[in-house]
Amino acid sequence: MCAVFGRYTKDIQHYKGGKKMKRKLLSAILSMTMVAALLAGCGSSAAPAADAAAPAAEEAAPAEEAAPAAEEAAPAAEEAAPAAAAGQKVGVSMPTKDLQRWNQDGANMEKELKDAGYEVDLQFANNDVQTQLSQVENMISGGCSVLVIAAIEGSSLGEALDMAKEANIPVIAYDRLLMDSDAVSYYATFDNYKVGTVQGTYVKDTLDLDNAEGPFNIEFTAGDPGDNNAGFFFNGAYDVLKPYIDEGKLVVQSGKTTFNDVATPEWKTETAQSEAENRISSFYTDKDIDVWLCSNDSTALGVENALAANYKGKYPIITGQDCDIENTKNMIAGKQSMSVFKDTRTLASQVVKMVGQILAGEKVDVNDEKTYNNNVITVPSFLCEPVFADANNYKEILLDSGYYTEDQLK
């Protein structure tokens, strides 16, 4: 059986034909895997079945070692043992290592899953859609029982999601909603609209917009148009500040007030810096900038670089998100005002809990079943709560919690 399985796996990887044949081959593999699991189950234990389904997994995490850990982490999973007899491998697909936050997300997820007794296939896609598509397809053919995916572009993984659905593999969209597919089982994220409202409210309160005369100059820098969350971030902030823009208390000298006007492809620092430099030279050679609302820390870093190189006026309020190390250092130095903190350890723990509930056949915890429609279905979601850090509370939020050490912020 192992020889046949290996031959069909190789055939899939090198097959040049259409998607229907590829899916048929995948179905054949999965059918054989289930047969192997049942045959092994008639023997003595679940461990040999895991070996038959994914021999290569032995070196990374033998099923015999993983099972006791899984039992300790989630006793309820014992009832689901027959369903998981082929092995409890979880595929985790992260978009890139270029941003600090995704490295932390991946590391936290891998640690939490391994601590719970799962074998983990963690992959980073280098911000390349085709690479991520191939990696997810390999996770499916490699015997993953659940997929956790943070997509580079929300609508880019349709083919792989179809394969997952055909193979009855549940998919959890991680932090970024997977779009245009009915194969998305759950969504785990932070309350993305609230992230924006936290930023907008910080600006409102800091400038005391309800009482101050103004006017104050403000600019916006938003995120990647391919990231469904970016619109939520921008809209959350803009909705708080729009009344003050409408009455003239906040003035956008560049006139760029829509998401499309201020979006930053791939959240790139260099792109945000270039755009900020253009606006500074065009509109602020003789005016102060009072606020620059940035949706996240990588774009905020670009704006901060542009201000350092080209701006001579009063230093503005600058918002961000993720509490990246460089941005936290800038907060301490007075170069960034705040950053929304999304503790990825909290999100990782929630996802691991959801994975365990899925594999145990239990009801999966969600707290939002109305907000996140991916153009095909409304995806049941769990939303974690964001908070913000600034120079006044970063020690409590980031250091006392163990998220960073003091040495990391020196």
Q: Where are the domains of the chain?
A: 2-184+344-385, 192-342+388-409
d(CA 18, CA 34): 25
Cα pseudo-dihedral 391, 299, 91, 67, rounded to 10: -10
Total-model pTM: 0.72
In the numeric block, the tokens 């969350």 are attached to 229
Considering the domain 192-342+388-409 in this protein, what is its CATH number?
3.40.50.2300
Q: Which residues pair with 340 in a beta bridge?
A: 321, 388
Looking from the CA of 371 toward its CB, the CA atoms found within 13 Å total 19
The CA-CA-CA angle for residues 135, 136, 139, to 5°, reads 90
Stretch (H or E) spanning 235: helix 228-246
Asked if 2-184+344-385 and 192-342+388-409 have one fold, the answer is yes
CATH fold group of domain 2-184+344-385: Rossmann fold (3.40.50)
Beta strands 89-94 and 146-149 are parallel
The radius of gyration of the chain from alpha carbons, rounded to an integer in Å, stands at: 24
Please provide the size of the chain in residues: 410
The values of phi and psi at residue 103, to 5°, are -60, -45
Q: What is the pLDDT along the chain (410 residues), one digit of tens a residue?
A: 433 333 333 333 333 344 433 444 444 444 444 334 433 433 333 333 333 333 333 333 333 333 333 333 343 333 333 334 335 999 999 999 988 889 989 999 999 999 999 999 999 999 999 999 999 999 999 999 999 999 999 899 999 999 999 999 999 999 999 999 999 999 999 999 999 999 999 999 999 999 999 999 999 999 999 899 999 999 999 999 999 999 999 999 999 999 999 999 999 999 999 999 999 999 999 999 999 999 999 999 999 999 999 999 999 999 999 999 999 999 999 999 999 999 989 999 999 999 999 999 999 999 999 999 999 999 999 999 999 999 999 999 999 999 999 999 99
CA distances 303 to 64, 141, 259, 265, 315, Å, are 52, 43, 17, 15, 12
CA distances 309 to 224, 256, 277, 302, Å, are 24, 22, 8, 11
